[in-house]
Structure 1
Amino acid sequence: MKLILGMASFMLFIIVMVLLMFDSRKDALVDTDYYEKGINYNKVYNRKEQTKNDHATPVVSANQDMIIIRFMQHAKGTATLMRTSDKALDRAVPFESNINNQVIIPSKQLKNGSWRLIIEWISKEKSYLYEQEIIL
């Protein structure tokens, strides 16, 4: 009797776990726009290579109050802050560098932790892209 009760409870446990697995709608490993990213992969790769070839890698420094990005030349573009643990916290900030070729992004409203900073910009009619992990 105990053996049958044990097997029945184990089978019930397995059935419940399978149902929960199929019912979960949020999966961090599945990207919703993977098709578009696949099509645009060459463009992204070319912009990253352009950054390396022109030695245009920006210098990024981050603290609790602000993120400072220093460019080699005047730049205009978008800085995207992606939180790997929660997509709802992602932010895109359009920018244009100041007279010192710097961009200052306030970071007081951002949660502490790890962020991926993706900078896309145009400088002297060339497109660039740079990615870096930052800790706030």
Structure 2
Amino acid sequence: MKINWGTGIVIAFVAFISFIMYFIITMMTDSTYDHDLVVEDYYKQELQFQNEINKETNAKSLVENISWKKTAEGLVIIFPENLQKENITGKVFLYRPSNKQFDFEMPISLSNHNLLIPDKRLLDGRWNIKVDWQYNGKNYLYKKEVLY
């Protein structure tokens, strides 16, 4: 049986559409390809962006900013020594880009200007740290990407 050029084009279109539909169905039904938004309330957070810029500017104007180091016990976030630790309040948010189920937030409770995030809470890989803190009524923000 001989296939003319019109039938060949139709067969090519059907094969191409079948190929594309296979990948669409695979991506929609397979849980390994689940990708969520970075955050659930993306637009709400976008409206707060100028506020974050102001907080980061405040943090950069400090004599000494927040730093961090990896230890055997976990990740230690070190607040400036020249500030009174009793007046530092806020929260630390750790975001795992590869899986939102590992994201967590914890309040700041300092011991000796250090905040320890236990090793058991952190998996190896990339983490985004966001420290939103206040000192004497002034707001500060520290953001860092960390490979743990």
Q: TM-score range by the shorter chain?
A: 0.7 to 0.9
When Rg is computed on C-alpha atoms for both structures, the one with the higher figure is 2
Tell me whether 54-63 or 17-26 shows the greater mean CA deviation.
17-26
Q: Are residue 91 (structure 1) and residue 104 (structure 2) matched?
A: yes
Asked whether the 8 Å contact 2:38–2:97 carries over to 1, the reply is no
Taking structure 1 as reference, are residues 30 and 96 closer, same or farther at Cα in structure 2, changes over 3 Å only? closer
Tell me whether 56-65 or 67-76 shows the greater mean CA deviation.
56-65
The corresponding residue for 1:82 is: 95
Q: Residues of 1 paired with 2:104 and 2:117: CA distance?
A: 11
Cα offset, 1:38, TM superposition? 1.8
Deviations 1:31-67 (A, max 9, x none): 5322211211111111000001123411111245311
The corresponding residue for 1:47 is: 55
Unaligned runs of 5+ in 1: none
The corresponding residue for 2:16 is: 10
- Which structure's residues are more often helix, by fraction? 2
% identity of equivalent residues: 25
* Structure 1 vs Structure 2 CA RMSD: 2.9
Q: TM-score, normalised by structure 2?
A: 0.75
Q: Residues of 1 paired with 2:56 and 2:103: CA distance?
A: 21
Q: Are residue 110 (structure 1) and residue 122 (structure 2) matched?
A: yes
Cα offset, 1:10, TM superposition? 2.8
Q: TM-score, normalised by structure 1?
A: 0.81
Taking structure 1 as reference, are residues 54 and 13 closer, same or farther at Cα in structure 2, changes over 3 Å only? same
Paired residues for 1:21-40 under 5 Å: 26-28=34-36, 31-40=39-48
Indicate which of 39, 42, 59 corresponds to 2:67.
59
Q: Which amino acid letter does the alignment assign opposite residue 133 of structure 1? A: E
Q: Residues of 2 paired with 1:114 and 1:63: CA distance?
A: 16
Asked whether the 8 Å contact 1:62–1:134 carries over to 2, the reply is no
